[in-house]
């Protein structure tokens, strides 16, 4: 069993590649829920939805978020009513939020609601929220503390970040599916997808027991760098790394994950960073990490899985 940790689009892309390589029973995808929020009375889980839409093959590839062939009657109605319209919700997307909101109101856990949504969309691989308890990513900036979507969407990541916190994380246990995967004797490897390390992966690692488990696991852990040539493919990772005084490079990613992973996969353009990655006490693997097509995604996933198998065999020897 391969356990993948993922945030939004970067994570979704590698998850799609892994799902193309592995049958459902051999893959578990644990997804960040620190970005979740309630908006117009709707329980919205942006990262879960992104991963789900990608795995269902209904994601809008052009926009990069939401559902393809989307219509916008709900947004038009919001605007007409003078309600907040800074967060885009398409009509097909709305159906997801409404279904989740109703199930949660009926007492279902987020894990249960997610499982039902995946069934509706024909997603066979397990997509699991990191926790069934609310965790709220708070972005501390020069303009004060901002709720995640406030920072990310309304303010377009403009304010300089001074710190990042995860409200409620100390009371949020890993979800049942996540707990089960961590304890699974058939676990073969952990894959940290190329999602934002500070905004998407850090909430998962901050759940009680998870960082300790990762530090002491007996199977290989591999991360794919979300920075390529010192830039993020998408999103504010590079900007935030710089604002926090971190090294904006694959080596900076290695430093961030030091002690938690055995190997960092970096892009060919970052081949020169290999010695500084190895200086952080881990291996480096160089390959093409930019995923523009289904073939790219499956190829990167295949390389990560081969790497995991080699590292696992090495550990046994």
Residues that bind a copy of itself (CB under 8 A): 109, 111-112, 131-133, 170-185, 207-210, 212-213, 215-216
- Residue 165 CB, nearest approach to a copy of itself (Å): 17
Using CA atoms, how far residue 182 sits from 3, 18, 28, 130, 215, in Å, is: 8, 18, 10, 12, 12
Nearest to a copy of itself of 3, 94 (CB atom): 3
Judge whether 154 and 186 are in contact, CB under 8 Å.
no
- Residue 185 CB, nearest approach to a copy of itself (Å): 5
**SS3 state at 301:** helix
Nearest to a copy of itself of 120, 215 (CB atom): 215
Alpha-carbon distance 137 to 167, whole Å? 6
Judge whether 139 and 73 are in contact, CB under 8 Å.
no
- Residue 29 CB, nearest approach to a copy of itself (Å): 16
Nearest to a copy of itself of 173, 290 (CB atom): 173
Number of Cβ atoms within 10 Å of the Cβ of 95: 14
Nearest to a copy of itself of 59, 111 (CB atom): 111
- Residue 228 CB, nearest approach to a copy of itself (Å): 32
- Residue 148 CB, nearest approach to a copy of itself (Å): 20
Token pair 């790394």 in the structure block, residue: 241
Number of helices followed by number of strands (H, E) in the chain = 13, 14
Nearest to a copy of itself of 57, 259 (CB atom): 259
């Amino acid at each position: 069993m391969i356990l993948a940790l993922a945030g939004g689009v970067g994570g979704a892309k590698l998850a799609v590649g892994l799902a193309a390589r592995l049958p459902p029973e051999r893959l578990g995808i644990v997804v960040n829920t620190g970005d979740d929020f309630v908006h117009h009375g709707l329980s919205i889980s942006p990262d879960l939805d992104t991963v789900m839409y990608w795995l269902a093959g209904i994601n809008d590839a052009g926009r990069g978020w939401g559902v393809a062939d989307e219509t916008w009657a709900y947004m038009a109605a919001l605007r007409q009513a003078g309600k907040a319209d800074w967060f885009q919700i398409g009509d097909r997307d709305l159906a997801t939020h409404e279904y989740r909101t109703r199930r949660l109101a009926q007492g279902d856990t987020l894990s249960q609601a997610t499982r039902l949504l995946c069934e509706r969309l024909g997603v066979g691989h397990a997509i699991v929220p990191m926790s069934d308890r609310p965790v709220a990513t708070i972005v501390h900036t020069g303009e004060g503390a901002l709720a995640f979507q406030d920072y990310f969407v309304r303010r377009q990541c403009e304010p300089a970040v001074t710190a990042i916190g995860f409200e409620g994380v100390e009371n949020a246990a890993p979800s049942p599916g996540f707990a089960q995967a961590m304890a699974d004797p058939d676990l073969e490897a952990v894959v940290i997808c190329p999602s934002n390390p500070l905004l998407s992966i850090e909430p998962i690692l901050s759940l009680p027991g998870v960082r300790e488990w990762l530090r002491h696991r007996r199977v290989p852990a591999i991360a794919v760098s979300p920075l390529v040539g010192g830039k993020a493919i998408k999103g504010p990772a590079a900007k935030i790394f710089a604002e926090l005084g971190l090294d904006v490079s694959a080596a900076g990613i290695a430093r961030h994950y030091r002690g938690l992973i055995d190997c960092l996969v970096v892009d060919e353009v970052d081949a020169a960073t290999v010695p500084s990655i190895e200086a952080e006490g881990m291996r480096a693997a160089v390959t093409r990490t930019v995923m523009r097509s289904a073939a790219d995604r499956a190829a990167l996933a295949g390389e990560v899985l081969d790497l995991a198998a080699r590292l696992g065999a090495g550990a046994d020897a």
